[in-house]
Amino acid sequence: MEPVPEYTPVELLEKTRSLGFPEYLQDFFQECIDFHTYPAPGVLIGVFMVDYALAALGKRPRDKIFVTCETPKCLPDPPQVIMHATIGNHRLRVLPIGKFAITLTPSSADESVEGVRVSIDRKKMSRYATLASWYDNSPAFRPATMKRQLVDEILAAGRDILSCERVRMKVTPKKRWKSVTCPSCGEQVPEDLMEGDHCAGCGSMAYYEKVP
Ligand SMILES: [Zn+2]
């Protein structure tokens, strides 16, 4: 079969306009595709997930909200772009569970906090055969010819393939820490990150050797 070219970012944004998505959602797509550098299917689904979770929580994108993402693939990008919840500002946590799911919780001074978890619901995918084959990582999904159809189905589905549930989780309190010098490398690290008598950089997380 002839290869079917996938959507360019410009074509894809044109498509979101022609489908009549609200302007703010079109902006989310544009900003997320730009940040991710290409319109990955997981990013597109992630935009719907963040939008759904925010609506369920009754919050606005720039409210102080903590995000837990259950996969490092694609999904961490939409909350970073839309909500400015990043690894660096400690409002984004990525757990390598391997599920396409995201939990949003408001800022709280209590021991636990209630929020919403939005996940892909495979049972709701029966009307979207290409999307289902891609999601299953099945050989039936052929990237050379089916990427355009995949995006069409993602945009047609929107929240249709998602589930939203109320959840409660523990709040991790901020802990005090003390700076120590690693005797092995002479560099400073927080004491609780030491691995016995050396830092993790000299131990289990060593990843480079010095070039003379
Ligand atoms: Zn060290």
Tell me, yes or no, whether 129 and 209 share the same domain: no
In this prediction, residue 49 carries a pLDDT of: 98
Tell me, yes or no, whether 147 and 61 share the same domain: yes
Average pLDDT of each block of 10 consecutive residues along the chain (212 residues)?
85 93 96 94 98 98 97 97 97 97 94 97 96 97 94 97 97 90 98 97 97 94
Question: Rounded to two decimals, what is the model's pTM?
Answer: 0.93
Tell me which residue has tokens 């209630």.
Answer: 114
Query: Distance from the CA of 205 to the center of ligand 1, in angstroms?
Result: 10
Q: What total of structural domains would you count in the chain?
A: 2
Query: Distance from the CA of 72 to the center of ligand 1, in angstroms?
Result: 28
In this prediction, residue 1 carries a pLDDT of: 67
80 CB neighbour count, 10 Å cutoff: 21
Query: Distance from the CA of 206 to the center of ligand 1, in angstroms?
Result: 9
Q: Supply the CATH number for residue 164's domain.
A: 3.30.1330.130
Query: Distance from the CA of 176 to the center of ligand 1, in angstroms?
Result: 21
In this prediction, residue 2 carries a pLDDT of: 78
Parallel, antiparallel, or unpaired for β 188-190 and 179-181?
antiparallel
Tell me, yes or no, whether 59 and 119 share the same domain: yes
